[in-house]
Chains A and B, each alone.
Chain A
Amino acid sequence: MANTWGYGAMTNSLGDIQNAKAIIIFGANPAVNHPVGFQHFLKAKERNNAQIIVVDPRFTKTAAKADIYAQIRPGTDIPFMYGMLNIIFKNGWEDKEFISDRVYGIEDIRVEAAKWTPEKVSDVTGISVEKLMQITRVYAKSTPGTLIWAMGLTQHSIGSSNTRLAPILQLCLGNMGEEGGGTNILRGHDNVQGATDMCCLSHTLPGYYGLSAGSWKYFAKSWGVDYEWLAGRFKDKKMMSAKGFTLARWYAGVLAGKPGEDKIHNGGTNLKAIFVMGNGITSIAQQAKVKEALDNLELIVLADPFVNEAAILTDKQDDVFILPAATQFETSGSVTATNRSAQWRYQVVEPLYESKPDHEIMIEFSKRLGFHKEYTKGMLIKENKTSYKFPEDATDEIARIIKTIGLTGWTSKRLKNHTDNWHMFDEVSLRGHGPMKGEYYGLPWPCWTETHGGSPILYNIHRTVKEGGMGFRNRFGLEHDGQDLLAGAGSAPKDSANKDGYPEITAKNIEKVLGIKLTTDEKKRIGKNWKVDTSHIIANKCMEAGIAPYGNAKARAKVWTFPDQIPMHREPIHSPRQDLAKKYPSYKDKANHYRVDTKYISKQTEKDWSKEFPINLVTGRLVNLNGAGMENRASKYLAALTPEMFCDINPGLAANHGIRNGDMMWVHSPEGTKIKVKAKFSFSVPEDRVFLPFHYAGHFQGEDLSHKYPEGTKPYAVGESANTVTNYGYDIVTQIPETKGGLCRVEKA
């Protein structure tokens, strides 16, 4: 996404889905994962006659509300989408003007799409030619159409190609920057967007500034600390700019050196300690490896409102610490919704017993580890204060520093004002009225200045920049292969001083692009470019001229820095179709992928996995539980809805293995691991695949670990983790695990 047009976030909003005429959903199940947000889908259907199309390996609750459903084979979204593009190009249904003005590299997509004839797509995906034609016609002809996805599209070894081809489909149909259009990626948990924006990631500083020395220096300056002091905290400056381990593969950092384990590049040492804050690491693929890694650590610290089941999974006896963290009701601050809107939350009750809010835990650590002054100084700078008030001053610090995604307008005062007046906003357009006129609810970023009203629909050129309009971001240079990467004439945001495409704004080009003259004083104060201009001169001048500070460029269908420049189909590492795995093989193995050597082709060709493990394995969520389920399974009534871990299995498949409804069954994985779960007959999965929910823990490979819970902390429901049997396989760019398309074998227990 970010590599296609600048930002990797949901482009429109849940409410805006009501404006759609067609809604196509790939690998997402909003009826289960976003039940409240799903009302907007239903209203679009009711009021706007929107056609809902669901493409999913499983007949989900969302599919039950769809007009058309396609039961796709896991991991074949790329052939499906190329099949749609094939039909679109053949019939001339693409938006030619949009493509020529605003997209780079579609020619290569045309060539690849031409290869994916409906018949070929049908063989690979399992969707009939007629259904593919029907879906394509309905979707291409009912504009605006919005495209929805979630983890079902991303959690594949080719996830980063999936999430590029979906935007390309939208670009070809001219569905971007439109009300009722967009790529609406649904964030799965509360504040995931905020956590990502604030860099709960290993490859960047907050606000996606990256890890270059220049970025570190900008932050050092903004935090009021010495860059060399910061650098001194690292082994060396090379490690300071090196990507870290990911959540998916941190275990490799512990296990490296043992026979059969992947090699690591971690500054010459293995990982020795882990500090977990509110993360269900018992819901990460390769659970057996996670357990082994936990067992081999020197120190485990788990800060959670409930017992993090990592403490139950491990056999480690000493130096495992469980810190009681407060819940969201016991603290205050801003959270960021899936659509880039912020919302201020007020504290409901004081923290119970000994629990402390996350920030207090971190601040206390900083005191004991000796860097409290440096850690908190950023909160004092704006008003030159001597003491800070959390979280208001932290929020204002973020607003002061983060320009890349336009958080300048997110001051604590404004965010509180939105929460206090939330009844003054429209649910569809997010527009405010009365005293909130001119602002959109939660100031969806980019919110360029302290008076800007936010940008509810990214890349919308029908509005002025002041009203949230913008073109695509200029992020990938000015030209490639001799072709101009800036937007075509006439595709600038409404009332822009510059009607043509233009580069991102810097101190050097501001006068030329905006057609203005800076005073000598302004020239002295202005920052180098829009991302680091703390004087706000660039942002303010841009608003006056109707110019988006990040430029106005073309989106790109081709990413020349990726292993596949255009999205290409590659079979999952563990594919049930060996004939296709030979034709569409995985990538070459990748060295030092977030510090770990990662296997692709060598794993895929190690043997014919499908012989021993002929059944596709899909995992996902239940409506009553989320994540690793620690907090939900501790709720009596939520747990009562699904008191046991189960496996959705088609009665036909079950009968072939002598499994009856309610029997216990084993699910075996190519990893050599297994889980014992209850069979639940369901027609939502066909006979070649099974579904497992991933919210359970407390059992491991048939063994009940209940005795390991500290007294009074055992949840009402415990069970096997689905991720004990999910397969090896990681995305080539992001390293997200391939949990939505693996293999397994089932057996009566």
Chain B
Amino acid sequence: MSSEMSRMKFYCDDDRCIECDGCTVACAEAHELPTGVSRRKVVTLNEGIEGKEFSTSVACMHCTDAPCEQVCPVDCFYIREDGIVLHDKDICIGCGYCLYACPFGAPQFPRDGAFGTKGAMDKCTMCAGGPQETNSVHERELYGQNLIAEGKVPVCAAMCSTKALIVGDAQDVANIYRARIASKGKGVQSAPYGWSKAYGN
């Protein structure tokens, strides 16, 4: 951790992503999402084509200049001091403007109604819950678990089988990725590293 907090960020290393969907299942399971709602998705392009297929995991990118926040007609979005973009479902009117504004397709809407899109928007919270009292029943019902409040890593990145998906303070994410790039071709990192050290990189 750097001494100064910058912003919380996700990064997916597509050299490592193998479309195992561990992130999406962990997310859905942890927050008990309805099956039509995908807070996180793995996207694969050019499936089956030699030299061209690649996969990457996408969710809300918690933008600095979040377009969703700017277009929301009822101002339900708020950006925490650590950069996590959240919204208040009790205010959201389910209009869908944020979906059109979002470059990543992050906003999700319940699909169980007869006419499709309706109800409050749902999206990745970086496992940080919502505006309700932290770890309250109401917060859990509306937004799922609040792991950030417990000092834990969001479930998607924790589950990632190849550590393609990294999350944390932008500085730390950059440091991990920089170390990965720097170690390219430099040989195996074996003892004296233990599991936690080596696995984390």
Q: Which residues of A contact B (CB under 8 A)?
A: 18-19, 31-32, 35-36, 38-39, 42-44, 46-49, 59, 61, 63-65, 69, 422-429, 431, 433, 623-624, 636-638, 640-641, 682-685
Main secondary structure of the interface of A (DSSP, over half): helix
Q: Check B185–A47 contact: CB distance below 8 A.
A: yes
The answer to whether B195 and A425 have CB atoms under 8 Å apart is yes
A426 close to B186 (CB less than 8 A)? no
Which of A42, A48, A49, A638 contacts B162 (CB under 8 A)?
Answer: A42
B74 at the interface (CB under 8 A from A): no
Give min CB distance, A38 to chain B, whole Å.
6
Tell me if B54 counts as interface (CB < 8 A to partner A).
yes
- Stretch with Cβ within 8 A of A (4 or more), from B20-28, B79-87, B93-101: B20-28
Assess whether A637 is in contact with B191, with CB atoms less than 8 Å apart: no
* Cβ contacts under 8 Å, B24 to chain A: 637, 641
* Chain A residues near B113 (CB-CB < 8 A): none
Beyond A35-B22, A425-B194, whether A48 also contacts B161 by CB under 8 A is: no
14 further interface pairs, Cβ-Cβ under 8 Å (given A35-B18, A48-B188): A18-B190, A39-B16, A44-B188, A47-B183, A47-B187, A47-B188, A61-B19, A426-B198, A428-B190, A429-B190, A431-B191, A637-B25, A637-B28, A684-B48
Partner among A427, A429, A684 whose Cβ is within 8 Å of the Cβ of B47: A684
Interface assignment of B115: CB less than 8 Å from any CB of chain A: no
Query: Which of chain B's residues have a CB closer than 8 A to the CB of A59?
Result: 48-50, 53
Kindly state whether residue B178 has any CB partner on chain A within 8 Å: no
Give, as a whole number of angstroms, the nearest-CB distance from B162 to chain A. 4
Chain A residues within 8 Å of B162, by CB = 35-36, 38-39, 42
Chain B residues in 8 Å Cβ range of A39: 16, 161-163
Q: Which residues of B contact A423 (CB under 8 A)?
A: 194-196
A38 in complex: contacting residue of B21, B161, B196, CB < 8 Å = B161
Give Cα distance in the complex from A452 to B199, angstroms: 27
Query: When chains A and B are docked, how far (Å) is the Cα of A427 from the Cα of B18?
Result: 21
* Complex contacts, A685 vs chain B, CB 8 Å: 48
Least Cβ–Cβ distance between A590 and chain B, in angstroms: 38
Pull 16 A–B residue pairs with CB atoms less than 8 Å apart, ordered by A.
A31-B18, A44-B188, A46-B15, A426-B192, A427-B193, A428-B190, A428-B198, A431-B191, A433-B191, A623-B21, A624-B21, A637-B24, A641-B21, A641-B24, A682-B47, A685-B48
A426 contacts which of B47, B55, B161, B191 (Cβ < 8 Å)? B191
Which residues of B are found within 8 Å of A18, using beta-carbon distances? Answer: 188, 190
Contact A638 B198 (CB under 8 A): no
By a CB distance below 8 angstroms, the chain B residues around A682 are: 47-48
Bound Cα distance from A513 to B126, whole angstroms:
65
Binary A-proximity of B137-165 (CB < 8 A = 1, otherwise 0):
00000000000000000000000011100
B35 contacts partner chain A, Cβ-Cβ < 8 Å: yes
B194 A424 Cβ-Cβ under 8 A: yes
How many whole Å from B54's CB to the nearest CB in chain A?
7
Is the pair B49, A429 in contact by a Cβ cutoff of 8 Å? no
Kindly state the separation between the CA atoms of A637 and B193 in the bound complex, as whole angstroms: 35
Flag whether B112 is at the interface (Cβ < 8 A): no
Which listed residue, A46, A65, A640, A683, touches B183 by the CB 8 Å rule?
A46
Minimum CB–CB distance from A255 to chain B (whole Å) comes to: 39
Query: In the assembled complex, which residues on chain B have CB atoms less than 8 Å from the CB atom of A426?
Result: 190-195, 198
Complex Cα spacing A49 to B186, Å: 8
Quote the shortest CB–CB distance from A463 to chain B (angstroms). 15
Question: Which residues on the B side are within 8 Å of A49 (C-beta)?
Answer: 185
| Residues in chain B near residue A624, CB distance under 8 A | 21, 25
Q: How far in angstroms is the closest Cβ of chain B from A689?
A: 12
Cα distance A423–B190 when bound, in Å?
A: 14
B40 → chain A closest CB, angstroms: 12
Closest to A639 in B: B35
Q: Does B75 contact A (CB under 8 A)?
A: no
Known: A637-B29, A641-B25, A682-B48. Is A47-B195 also a contact (CB below 8 A)? no
Q: Please, which residues of chain B bring their CB within 8 A of the CB of A637?
A: 24-25, 28-29, 35
B51 nearest in chain A by CB position:
A69
Task: Decide: A422 near B195, CB < 8 A? Known: A46-B183, A47-B183.
Answer: yes
CA distance A637 to B185 in the complex (A): 38
Interface residue SS majority, chain B? loop
Nearest CB on B from A179, distance (A): 9
Cα separation A48 to B112 with both chains bound (whole Å):
50
- What's the least CB distance linking B24 to chain A, in Å? 8
Give Cα A684 to B191, complex, Å.
39
Within 8 A of A (CB), among B1-30: 15-16, 18-22, 24-25, 28-29
Question: In whole angstroms, how far apart are the Cα atoms of A63 and B55 in the complex?
Answer: 13
Distance in angstroms from B179 CB to nearest chain A CB is 11
B19 and A46 contacting across the interface, CB-CB below 8 Å: no
Residues of B within 8 A of A431 (CB): 191
Least distance between B39 CB and chain A CB atoms (Å):
12
A433 touches B194 (CB 8 A): yes
For B36, the closest partner residue in chain A by CB is A640
For residue B34, which residue of chain A has the nearest CB?
Answer: A636
**Chain B residues closer than 8 Å to A43, beta-carbon distance:** 188
Which partner residue on chain A sits nearest B35 by CB separation?
Answer: A640
Complex CA gap A42/B15 in Å reads 8
Docked pose: A428 CA to B28 CA in angstroms: 32
A636 and B34 alpha carbons, distance in the complex (Å): 9
**Cα(A46)–Cα(B43), bound, Å:** 22
Contacts of B55 in A (CB 8 A): 61, 64
Return A330 CB to nearest CB of chain B, in Å.
19
Tell me the nearest residue of chain B to A31, going by C-beta: B18
Name the CB-closest residue of B to A422: B195
Contacts of B49 in A (CB 8 A): 59, 683
CB-CB < 8 A to B183: which residues of A? 46-47
- Within the complex, what minimum Cβ distance (angstroms) separates A390 from chain B? 29
Report chain B residues within 8 Å CB of A424. Answer: 194
Q: Which residue of B lies closest to A650 (CB)?
A: B48
Question: Which residue of the partner chain, among A31, A46, A48, A69, contacts B20 with CB atoms under 8 Å?
Answer: A31
Closest to A69 in B: B50
Nearest CB in chain A: distance from B190 CB, A: 4
* Cβ-neighbour of A64 out of B28, B29, B53, B163 (below 8 A): B53
Contacts of A47 in B (CB 8 A): 183-189
Minimum C-beta distance from B11 to chain A (A): 16
Which residues of B sit under 8 angstroms from A61, Cβ to Cβ?
Answer: 18-19, 55
User: Complex Cα distance A36/B19, Å?
Assistant: 12
6 closest cross-chain pairs (CB), A and B: A684-B48, A683-B48, A35-B161, A35-B20, A428-B190, A426-B191
Among the listed B16, B29, B50, B188, which residue makes an inter-chain contact with A19, where contact means beta carbons less than 8 Å apart?
B188
Chain B residue numbers with a CB within 8 Å of A31 are 18, 20
> B184 contacts which chain A residues (CB < 8 A)?
46-47
Residues of B within 8 A of A427 (CB): 193, 195, 198-199
Chain B: CB-nearest residue to A47: B183
Q: Which residue of A lies closest to B20 (CB)?
A: A35
Contacts of A425 on B, CB cut-off 8 Å? 194-195
| Most chain A CB atoms below 10 A, which of B22, B161, B196 | B161
A412 to B35, CA, bound (A): 42
Chain B proximity of A468: nearest CB distance (Å) = 15
Are B180 and A46 within 8 A (Cβ)? yes
List of A residues within 8 angstroms of B22 by Cβ: 35
Which A residue sits closest to B189, measured CB to CB?
A47
With A42-B15, A49-B185 already in contact, the answer to whether A429 and B191 are too (CB < 8 A) is: yes
| Distance between A716 CB and nearest chain B CB, rounded to angstroms | 9
- CB contacts under 8 Å to A, within B28-80, are 28-29, 35, 47-50, 53-55
| Chain B residues within an 8 Å CB radius of A422 | 195
Residues of A within 8 A of B187 (CB): 47-48
CB-CB nearest in chain B for A34: B161
CA distance A478 to B25 in the complex (A): 55
Q: Is the CB of B25 within 8 A of A638?
A: yes
Q: Which residues of A contact B188 (CB under 8 A)?
A: 18-19, 43-44, 47-48, 428
Give, as a whole number of angstroms, the nearest-CB distance from B174 to chain A. 17
User: Contacts of B194 on A, CB cut-off 8 Å?
Assistant: 423-426, 433
Closest A residue to B19 using CB positions:
A61
| A683: B residues at CB distance < 8 A | 47-49
